[in-house]
């Protein structure tokens, strides 16, 4: 699904598609939580509940040839981008059929076919990488945009400043998408940043920047269209702060001692799926049958993915030391 | 596809010039190659290695960067994944610590984490070593640390021929390669054959043969070791000098062949002794050539102290030919 | 008890938000669990009715323990996760240690004495007792050149007596003979050979020669066997790995007695092609070398068939045991004057009993008989040998 104009086209089919994508992510994350408690998924698991509108609003605006760099909270981004759900889940099981061959797990999803460059467990670690990808496109005269997703916690890291500066200085086609969900693990934005209006930081580097309501998928999509068009037209990078909220804990093993239940519930009342669905129902763009159909399709796809992952195979231990260096072919 | 090296008219040259020639050669051969780092363009390079290249190749291919080691090293990684063949110049290994996360957590691991979907064909060059009274923060030899990491390759060219020839082979490698240039070698003069070209980056070389003891070393320490070998020869002790050339992977076969011949070894490594690369080589010798040993293995490393500023203390802190001679003789001592 | 983290092993139930009979749906928070990170709410992934609580408040239970039973449309489901799925493959075993060092037969070192690895290995290879070596390294450590010096010393001291260890040799012979008897199905044939032609010919032949150039009967016997072996390849070769390989040459192993007891049968190479004089010379030389202990390993291994003659020991017949991996051994008793029937009359003639012991896997009595009789025929015309 690609977009070529700036105007958000809100046809019924497009609206239902946006809703489905968000529901798909939400149900998938829910299933991951369940599987994690059953020890099918191990290590760390970071879920996207509440932030779906950002990935769903931005990613479909990109072309297939554009590039995406994401964080450890990247399941939603991977799914919307087109990484098959079954390979994403198999990856989390650690099975060979996973998108990274089972070697990465939840935090390290990579997919060459969809130009999906991970999956990074170092906060801020993906920013220099996205600068480099954009640099290669610029030097090779390729009209690609590199979208880099990161949380507001990353803006404290030196690498954020280095990367944003380099992108602005060298006029690189990077779309920096900051998913500001107000907490960097357990540390609230208010106690970690002197300037909490994040878009202003980018503006300091003379980069075009705006903030948008990250709980409103239409607003996010519109902003993304503007941003991507600007990048393609001017060749300059763009900074998009999406103001959102994380409904679940940072990871599965988090007692959330750092925030009030009341605050979470307040945000839950305006979470993106609920909001969009209500609006669509009110606008008569969504029938109960549509919703039933969406939930059924999503449930079937998830069940299928679970079977696929369960049936997946383990990479033989004898192959442990592969993929450290390139393998010589014959 | 390896092209033949461009004809180089000079026969008398320096280590610095050999590297510059290697960079120039690479830039001319492959339009994907570009170099970026601090002060590489307008300044001409901290050690004057890239002098003149900006004028010849322009600011897109000789790219001055802000002081953002992590940023531009990561950018090099991304550009390599995206299809370029970047040479990232980190001014010295001392500043590379700021880029350590990108080197270890991105460059070394992306191929593995992605299940072999993405490789990083990146070359990072760094100056290294002590000897110019630059004091504690500017005198490190951390190539041994880097040699610890699976997923990258680590080189230490000690001769003009290797300085000229290792870069192209490194650029052709599909995985990240780190090249360490010892600061005391840049001014070294020597001759280069007119058709000098790419050299291998996976083998050690016996620079001088001998029967009595193996002196195993790399980089800036090679010349001190050769000096020590000459001194030992005047006392009737024949030392075999092994230049490692590559620190990861280590060429075990050459090392063990030397041990089988001489039965004794001293390893010379400018890193600090504790947890050094010398310790790793020692252990490999014990694992693979234990029954060939006629004496304990000796090490000449930097002393356990941050490198001091005054000349006499700096000299005392790092390996010297006299220390190598003493170590060798200690192993050969009779009752 | 759900797993909430890789490092979570157990949890303490501190609050139930449901009781038996309550309806629940997927996503409902049903309990609170205390962990090392603090209290965490846990949700159910089932929709149905709570049937029974299984774990009391305050109980600390491991991850995977059922906490409650929920009756769903599908049937009873536990709140807690089902047992974990098949485990991933076992972790990589630590790499096997390298081969253990070769145990030294006499590798014991005196208390306090030290030896370098290379020196130890060299000493072992030469069978030198480390206790007899003086070390010149630091702390009297024995070094390579100390062992080399000792080796040189021993060589200088070595007596001209046999260089091989007699006891070891007899042990080896015993083992070889035992194995031969175990593995080879021997069959035996005997044949009487009339030797007057040989004796006469020898007498004439030796009349004009000085003692050191005289031919002995043994040479004739060896040559005859060699020529016969050429014609009957089933008796000349080696049996290895379940099959017989005929040899292209004939190397006769000649059994020679060792002083102090025991037999050794080194090869006379290409005996079928040597002249009798050359053969005799070789036999003499072999005997000398055996006495001096200077036999080469290849000489022991090369014979393709053996001839053993104990005639002077005074027995009529010798039944041999085949030397592995050969397939035949020809034995000769002493030459004795015995009654012999010729042309219907009994005469006194020099007779020798020749026997053949052969490997029944390779040949049979019929072939053996032909072989033996061929030897007898050849010995009737000594001038053609």
* pLDDT tens, per residue, chain C with 385 residues: 998 876 788 899 999 999 999 999 999 999 999 887 778 889 999 999 999 999 999 999 999 999 999 998 776 555 554 444 445 555 554 444 433 333 334 444 555 678 999 999 999 888 888 888 888 888 888 999 999 999 888 888 766 555 556 566 667 777 888 889 999 999 999 999 999 999 999 999 999 888 888 899 999 999 999 999 999 999 999 998 889 999 999 999 998 887 766 778 889 999 999 999 999 999 998 888 887 777 776 777 789 999 998 766 678 898 999 998 899 999 999 999 999 998 899 999 999 999 999 999 999 999 999 999 999 999 999 999 9
For residue A233, give every residue at least 6 positions away whose Cβ sits within 8 Å of its Cβ, in sequence order, or none.
none
Q: Is residue B23 in some structural domain? A: yes
Nearest CA of chain A to the CA of C100: how many Å? 24
Contacts 24+ apart (CB under 8 A), C4-7: C4/A36, C4/A37, C4/A252, C4/A253, C4/C33, C4/C35, C4/C40, C4/C42, C5/A44, C5/A251, C5/A252, C5/A253, C5/C35, C5/C37, C6/A42, C6/A43, C6/A44, C6/A253, C7/A253
pLDDT given at position B9: 60
Interchain CB distance below 8 Å, C89 and A37: no
User: Which residue ranges make up each domain of chain A?
Assistant: 3-319
- Residues C319 and C283 sit within 8 Å (Cβ to Cβ): no
Q: What is the pLDDT of residues A218-244, one digit of tens each?
A: 999 999 999 999 999 999 999 999 999
Predicted ipTM?
0.83
* B61 and B188 inside one domain: yes
Element spanning A290, H or E: helix A288-311
Q: Is residue B214 in some structural domain? A: yes
Q: What is the pLDDT of residues C154-188, one digit of tens each?
A: 888 766 555 556 566 667 777 888 889 999 999 99
A112 touching chain B per CB within 8 A: yes
Catalytic residue among B138, B140, B182, B263: B138
Q: Is residue C105 in some structural domain? A: yes
From the list B71, B80, B115, which residue is nearest A100 (CB)?
B115
* C265 and C186 inside one domain: yes
Interchain CB distance below 8 Å, B333 and C138: yes
* C136 and C174 inside one domain: no
Interchain CB distance below 8 Å, C4 and A253: yes
Calculate the average pLDDT of chain A. 94
Give A-chain residues touching C8 at CB under 8 angstroms: 253
* B123 and B47 inside one domain: yes
d(CA C196, CA C337): 10
How many Å is the Cα radius of gyration of chain A? Answer: 19
Q: Which of the residues in chain B have pLDDT under 50?
A: 1-5, 7-8, 334-335
Q: How many B×C Cβ pairs under 8 Å? A: 35
How many C-beta atoms surround the C-beta of residue B189 within 10 A? 11
pLDDT given at position A330: 57
Q: Is residue C5 in some structural domain? A: no
Give me the percent of chain B exceeding a pLDDT of 90: 90
Q: How many structural domains does chain C have?
A: 2
Q: Is residue B241 in some structural domain? A: yes
A99 touching chain B per CB within 8 A: yes
Interchain CB distance below 8 Å, A253 and C90: no
B contact set with A (CB within 8 A): 34, 60, 65-66, 68, 70-84, 86, 98, 101-102, 105-106, 110-119, 150-151, 153, 173-175
d(CA B108, CA A148): 21
Give me the percent of chain C exceeding a pLDDT of 70: 84
B69 tagged catalytic = yes
* B225 and B177 inside one domain: no
pLDDT given at position C295: 73
* B175 and B232 inside one domain: no
Beta-strand relationship, B33-37 and B85-92 = parallel
Among residues C90, C124, C157, the one where a domain terminates is C157
Q: Is residue C46 in some structural domain? A: yes
CA distances from C91 to A315, B109, C63, C182 (A): 12, 21, 22, 48
d(CA A6, CA A16): 20
Among residues C157, C184, C215, the one where a domain terminates is C157
* B115 and B37 inside one domain: yes
CATH number of the CATH domain containing B42: 3.40.50.970
Among residues B143, B170, B192, the one where a domain terminates is B192
* B29 and B120 inside one domain: yes
Q: Is residue B102 in some structural domain? A: yes
Interchain CB distance below 8 Å, B263 and C144: yes
Q: Which of B72, B87, B114 to mutate to test the interface with A (most CBs of A within 10 A)?
A: B114
Structural domain containing residue C181: 166-384
pLDDT given at position C98: 37
Q: Is the pLDDT at A2 greater than 90, yes or no?
A: no
CATH number of the CATH domain containing B243: 3.40.50.920
Query: In chain A, whose CA is at the least distance from the CA of B83?
Result: A136
- Residues C71 and C79 sit within 8 Å (Cβ to Cβ): no
Q: Which of B30, B41, B79, B121 to mutate to test the interface with A (most CBs of A within 10 A)?
A: B79
pLDDT given at position A224: 98
From the list A108, A128, A324, which residue is nearest B150 (CB)?
A324
Give C-chain residues touching B291 at CB under 8 angstroms: 101, 117-118, 120-121
* B153 and B233 inside one domain: no
* C153 and C179 inside one domain: no
Q: Which of A68, A94, A132 to mutate to test the interface with B (most CBs of B within 10 A)?
A: A132
* B180 and B221 inside one domain: no
Written as six digits, the tokens of A81 are 């981008």
* B209 and B182 inside one domain: no
Nearest CA of chain B to the CA of C142: how many Å? 9
Nearest CA of chain B to the CA of A322: how many Å? 8
pLDDT given at position B167: 97
Q: How many structural domains does chain B have?
A: 2
Nearest CA of chain A to the CA of B49: how many Å? 24
Structural domain containing residue B94: 8-192
From the list A38, A256, A310, which residue is nearest C82 (CB)?
A38
Overall average pLDDT of the A147-155 stretch: 97
* B114 and B163 inside one domain: yes
* B177 and B235 inside one domain: no
Q: Is residue B143 in some structural domain? A: yes
Written as six digits, the tokens of C69 are 């039973």
CATH number of the CATH domain containing C179: 3.30.559.10
Q: What is the pLDDT of residues B278-326, one digit of tens each?
A: 999 999 999 999 999 999 999 999 999 999 988 989 999 999 999 999 9
* C305 and C344 inside one domain: yes
* C116 and C135 inside one domain: yes
Q: Is residue C355 in some structural domain? A: yes
Phi, psi of A212, rounded to the nearest 5 degrees? -140, 155
* C151 and C181 inside one domain: no
Query: In chain B, whose CA is at the least distance from the CA of C102?
Result: B291
- Whether a cis peptide bond, with omega within 30° of 0, leads into B216 is no
Q: What is the pLDDT of residues C28-41, one digit of tens each?
A: 999 999 887 778 88
B293 touching chain C per CB within 8 A: yes
Give C-chain residues touching A47 at CB under 8 angstroms: none
CATH of A3-319, one of 3.90.1300.10, 3.30.460.20, 1.10.150.240, 3.40.50.970: 3.40.50.970
* C147 and C196 inside one domain: no
* B187 and B212 inside one domain: no
B143 tagged catalytic = no
Q: Is residue B200 in some structural domain? A: no
* C130 and C178 inside one domain: no
Minimal CA–CA distance to C271: which of C324, C203, C330, C319? Answer: C330
CATH number of the CATH domain containing C87: 2.40.50.100
Q: Is residue C368 in some structural domain? A: yes
Interchain CB distance below 8 Å, A129 and B82: no
Query: In chain B, whose CA is at the least distance from the CA of C138?
Result: B335
Q: Which of C107, C119, C138 to mutate to test the interface with B (most CBs of B within 10 A)?
A: C138
* C51 and C97 inside one domain: yes
């Amino acid at each position: 699904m690609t977009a070529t104009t700036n105007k958000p086209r809100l046809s019924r089919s497009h609206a239902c598609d946006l809703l489905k994508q968000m529901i798909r992510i939400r149900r998938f994350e829910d299933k991951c939580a369940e599987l994690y408690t059953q020890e099918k998924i191990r290590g760390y698991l970071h879920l996207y509940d509440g932030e779906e509108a950002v990935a769903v609003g931005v990613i479909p605006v990109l072309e297939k040839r554009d590039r995406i760099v994401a964080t450890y909270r990247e399941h939603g981004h991977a799914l919307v981008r087109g990484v098959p759900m079954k390979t994403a889940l198999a990856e989390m099981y650690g099975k060979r059929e996973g998108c990274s061959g089972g070697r990465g797990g939840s935090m390290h999803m990579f997919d060459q076919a969809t130009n999906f460059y991970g999956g990074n467990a170092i906060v801020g670690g993906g920013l220099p990488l996205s600068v480099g990808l954009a640099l290669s496109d610029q030097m090779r005269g390729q009209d690609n945009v590199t979208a880099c997703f990161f949380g507001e916690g990353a803006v404290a890291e030196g690498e954020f400043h280095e990367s944003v500066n380099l992108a602005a200085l060298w006029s690189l086609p990077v779309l920096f998408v900051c998913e500001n969900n107000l907490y960097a693990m357990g540390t609230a934005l208010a106690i970690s940043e002197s300037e909490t209006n994040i878009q202003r930081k980018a503006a300091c580097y003379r980069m075009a920047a705006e903030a948008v309501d990250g709980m409103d998928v239409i607003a996010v999509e519109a902003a993304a269209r503007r941003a991507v068009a600007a990048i393609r037209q001017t060749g300059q990078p763009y900074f998009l702060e999406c103001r959102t909220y994380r409904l679940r804990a940072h990871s599965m093993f988090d007692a959330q001692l750092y925030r009030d239940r009341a605050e979470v519930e307040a945000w839950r009342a305006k979470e993106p799926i609920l909001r969009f669905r209500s609006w669509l129902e009110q606008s008569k763009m969504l029938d109960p049958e549509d919703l039933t159909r969406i939930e059924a399709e999503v449930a079937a796809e998830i069940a299928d993915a679970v079977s696929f992952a369960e049936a997946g195979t383990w990479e033989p231990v004898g192959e442990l030391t592969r993929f450290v260096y390139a393998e010589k072919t014959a | 596809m390896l092209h033949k090296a461009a004809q180089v008219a000079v026969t008398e040259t320096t280590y610095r010039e050999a590297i510059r020639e290697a960079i120039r050669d690479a830039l001319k051969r492959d339009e994907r190659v570009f170099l970026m780092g601090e002060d590489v363009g307008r300044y001409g390079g901290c050690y004057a290695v890239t002098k003149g290249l900006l004028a010849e190749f322009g600011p897109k291919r000789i790219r001055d960067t802000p002081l953002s080691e992590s940023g531009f090293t990561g950018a090099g990684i991304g550009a390599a994944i995206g299809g370029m063949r970047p040479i990232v110049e980190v001014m010295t290994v001392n500043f590379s610590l700021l880029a350590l996360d990108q080197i270890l957590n991105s460059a070394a691991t992306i191929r593995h984490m992605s299940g072999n979907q993405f490789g990083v064909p990146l070359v990072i060059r760094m100056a290294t070593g002590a000897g110019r009274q630059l004091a504690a923060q500017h005198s490190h030899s951390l190539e041994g640390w880097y040699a610890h990491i699976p997923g990258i390759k680590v080189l230490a060219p000690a001769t003009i021929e290797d300085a000229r020839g290792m870069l192209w082979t490194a650029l052709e490698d599909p995985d990240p390669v780190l090249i360490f240039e010892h600061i005391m070698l840049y001014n070294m003069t020597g001759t280069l054959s007119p058709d000098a070209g790419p050299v291998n980056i996976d083998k050690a070389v016996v620079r001088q043969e001998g029967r009595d003891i193996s002196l195993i070393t790399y980089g800036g320490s090679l010349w001190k070791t050769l000096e020590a070998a000459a001194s030992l020869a005047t006392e009737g002790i024949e030392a075999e000098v092994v230049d490692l050339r590559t620190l990861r992977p280590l060429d075990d076969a050459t090392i063990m062949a030397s041990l089988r011949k001489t039965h004794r070894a001293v390893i010379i490594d400018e890193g600090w002794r504790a947890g050094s690369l010398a310790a790793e080589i020692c252990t490999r010798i014990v694992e693979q050539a234990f029954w060939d040993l006629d004496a304990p293995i000796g090490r000449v490393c930097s002393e356990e102290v941050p490198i001091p500023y005054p000349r006499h203390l700096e000299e005392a802190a790092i390996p010297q030919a006299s220390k190598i001679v003493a170590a060798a003789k200690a192993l050969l001592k009779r009752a | 008890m759900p797993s909430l983290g890789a490092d979570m092993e157990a949890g303490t139930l501190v609050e139930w938000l449901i009781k038996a009979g309550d309806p629940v749906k997927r996503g409902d928070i049903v309990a609170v669990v205390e962990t090392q990170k603090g209290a965490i709410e846990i949700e159910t992934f089932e929709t149905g009715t709570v049937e029974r609580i299984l774990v009391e408040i305050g109980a600390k239970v491991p991850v995977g323990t059922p906490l409650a039973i929920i009756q769903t449309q599908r049937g009873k489901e536990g709140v807690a996760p089902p047992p974990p799925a098949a485990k991933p493959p076992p972790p990589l075993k630590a790499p096997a240690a390298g081969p253990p060092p070769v145990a030294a037969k006499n590798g014991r070192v005196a208390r306090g004495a030290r030896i370098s690895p290379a020196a130890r290995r060299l000493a072992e290879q030469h069978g030198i007792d480390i206790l007899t070596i003086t070390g010149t390294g630091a702390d009297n450590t024995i070094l390579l050149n100390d062992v080399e010096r000792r080796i040189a010393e021993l060589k200088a001291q070595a007596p001209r007596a046999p260089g091989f260890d007699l006891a070891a040799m007899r042990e080896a012979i015993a083992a070889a003979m035992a194995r031969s008897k175990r593995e080879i199905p021997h069959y035996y044939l005997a044949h009487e050979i009339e030797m007057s032609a040989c004796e006469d010919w020898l007498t004439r032949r030796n009349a004009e020669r000085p003692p050191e150039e005289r031919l002995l009967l043994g040479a004739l016997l060896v040559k005859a066997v060699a020529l016969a072996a050429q014609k009957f390849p089933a008796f000349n070769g080696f049996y290895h790995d379940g099959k017989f390989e005929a040899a292209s040459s004939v190397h006769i192993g000649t059994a020679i007695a060792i002083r102090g007891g025991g037999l050794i049968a080194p090869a006379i190479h290409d005996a079928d092609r040597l002249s009798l004089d050359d053969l005799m010379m070789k036999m003499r030389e072999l005997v000398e070398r055996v006495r001096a202990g200077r036999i080469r390993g290849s000489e022991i291994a090369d014979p393709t068939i053996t001839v053993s003659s104990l005639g002077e020991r005074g027995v009529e017949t010798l039944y041999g045991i085949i030397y592995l991996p050969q397939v035949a051994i020809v034995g000769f008793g002493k030459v004795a004057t015995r009654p012999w029937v010729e042309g219907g009359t009994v005469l006194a003639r020099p007779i020798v009993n020749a026997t053949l012991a052969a490997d029944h896997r390779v040949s049979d009595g019929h072939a053996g008989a032909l072989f033996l009789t061929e030897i007898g025929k050849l010995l009737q015309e000594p001038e053609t040998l």
